[in-house]
Structure 1
Amino acid sequence: MDEYPFTKLVIERNLTREEFAILMERLEKLNEQYEAQKEEGLIHFSSLLIHFAGMLTEKLEPDSTINALQREGFYPSLMNEFIRIIKQNNKG
């Protein structure tokens, strides 16, 4: 299961199929927004991170979910951007 940290997280937190499907749909839309904003030349994506945190079910914690998604290879550009923002905010 170490190769699939996000899948492991979903199982451990007892997400229903519906919760999982909704999450993946929202992630897809969020990734599309990220790509569109990046194309428009935006360089600050904190609002997307805030949106991500707000869209999660109470069963998931933002930081661990982001890390699990990134390690499993879901939406790598978006997750790397979120990790960068979190690290930057933790320094300040």
Structure 2
Amino acid sequence: MDEYPFIKLIIENNITFEEYKELMAFLHKLNREFAEQKEEGLMDFTILLVRFAGMLNEKLNPDQTIEALKKEGYFPSLMDTFIEIIERDESKYKRG
């Protein structure tokens, strides 16, 4: 399971298949918006991270989810950008 940290996170947090599908649809949409904004020359993607954290299923921790998605290779550019933002301001975006 160490090779699949995102799947492990989904299982450990009792995410239903429906919740999983909603999460993946949301991530695809967010990734499209990220690509569009990047193409338009936008350089600050903090608002996308805030939306991600706000829309994420309450069973999941945003930081852990981002790390797990990155390790499994999901949405690499978006996850790298989120990690950069988090590292830039560690305490601001953590969920209680």
Q: Is residue 74 of structure 1 aligned with residue 74 of structure 2?
A: yes
- 1:3 match: 3
Deviations, residues 33-82 of structure 1 (Å, cap 9, x unaligned):
00000000000000000000011111001000000000010000000000
**Runs of 5+ unmatched residues, structure 2:** none
Q: Is residue 28 of structure 1 aligned with residue 28 of structure 2?
A: yes
Give me the TM-score of the superposition, normalised by structure 2.
Answer: 0.93
Distance 2:68 2:91 in 1: 22
Higher helix share: 1
CA RMSD of aligned residues (A): 1.3
Q: Is residue 89 of structure 1 aligned with residue 89 of structure 2?
A: yes
Q: Number of residue pairs matched?
A: 92
Q: SS of the residue aligned with 1:90?
A: coil
Give me the TM-score of the superposition, normalised by structure 1.
Answer: 0.97
